[in-house]
């Protein structure tokens, strides 16, 4: 039998961690735990997640109707319920606005793969939804194409939602994702991101299989895909507005160097080329002026 009071305390603890990490400013974010076939504990609306008490947690049914609690339920509870309806193994959902991951949500930049081993094992490919106004069923429906293939989703122009078998595990995925997004930004600021090769990625996937983690790239449907190229959710990019802009694609996706130069697209000159051309132009002008004076 569920110890409901202890679960409420666990929700409050995760709320404090979200707030202290800067993942939920002011009254942002919401947390839920499913405690029965038709009962879900849920954080209240307009309440800082850093200062929750067990008595603040309300109870809703699987339609979103509040059935217990002195404070009104979160307005985004329908998002949580949609995940529970489609994943019977999920017992907790955490939604918040971690700054670095949310930056990718705002930029609609896909999360690069084949960069950090831990991320490949624990997260895999991370999708970005299309944008909908938060709070309603249309917003909740944006996760439907992705919910069965991942445990963490980036919500376009909004934040993240992650889920698992308990509230601690549901929170973990968000913390791992935001730390990874921060590392990507720092590395990009230093110059570029280096990817490890596909054979090393397949070694990680085998470890993932042995450790009991699921990943779409381990199924026959994707066994021949470019596993470093965000292939799992690429078909959704057109509808969601996702596009690579900040990060170069992995080497496996780069155009072949053996391609005919006649068919190669024109490229912009580098800064060094421009500088060299400018110096040559100045030199030519100086020499021409000297020749004119000598005459």
> Which residues are known catalytic residues?
76
Phi, psi of 72, deg, nearest 5: -70, 140
- CA dihedral for 265, 271, 272, 278, sign (positive or negative): positive
Task: Check if the beta carbon of residue 144 is closer than 8 Å to that of residue 82.
Answer: yes
Q: Could you tell me how many residues make up the chain?
A: 295
Bridge partners (DSSP) of residue 16 are none
Question: Is-contact 134 28, C-beta < 8 A?
Answer: no
The pairing of beta strand 159-164 with beta strand 152-155: antiparallel
Evaluate whether 167 touches 92 at the Cβ level (below 8 Å).
yes
């Amino acid at each position: 039998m569920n110890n409901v009071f202890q679960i409420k305390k666990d929700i409050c603890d995760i709320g404090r961690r979200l707030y202290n990490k800067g993942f939920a400013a002011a009254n942002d974010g919401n947390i839920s735990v499913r405690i029965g076939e038709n009962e879900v504990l849920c954080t209240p609306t307009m309440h800082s997640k850093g200062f929750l008490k067990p008595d603040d947690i309300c109870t809703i049914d699987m339609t979103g109707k509040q059935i217990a609690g002195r404070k009104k339920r979160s307005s985004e509870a329908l998002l949580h319920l949609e995940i529970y309806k489609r994943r019977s193994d999920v017992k907790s959902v955490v939604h918040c606005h971690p700054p670095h991951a949310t930056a990718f949500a705002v930029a609609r930049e896909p999360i690069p793969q084949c960069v950090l081993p831990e991320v490949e094992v624990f997260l895999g490919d991370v999708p970005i939804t299309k944008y909908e106004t938060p709070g309603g069923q249309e917003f909740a429906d944006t996760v439907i194409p992705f919910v069965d293939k991942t445990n963490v989703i980036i919500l376009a122009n909004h934040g993240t939602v992650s889920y698992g078998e308990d509230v601690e595990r549901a929170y973990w995925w968000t913390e791992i994702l935001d730390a990874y997004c921060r590392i990507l930004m720092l590395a990009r600021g230093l110059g570029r991101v280096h990817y490890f090769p596909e054979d090393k990625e397949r070694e990680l996937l085998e470890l993932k299989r042995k450790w009991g983690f699921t990943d779409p790239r381990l199924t026959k449907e994707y066994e021949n895909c470019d596993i470093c190229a965000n292939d799992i959710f690429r078909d959704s990019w057109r509808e969601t507005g996702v596009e690579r802009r900040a990060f170069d694609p992995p080497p496996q996706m780069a155009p072949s160097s053996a391609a005919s130069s006649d068919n190669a697209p024109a490229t912009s000159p580098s800064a060094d080329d421009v500088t060299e051309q400018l110096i040559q132009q100045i030199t030519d002008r100086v020499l021409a002026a000297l020749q004119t004076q000598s005459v």
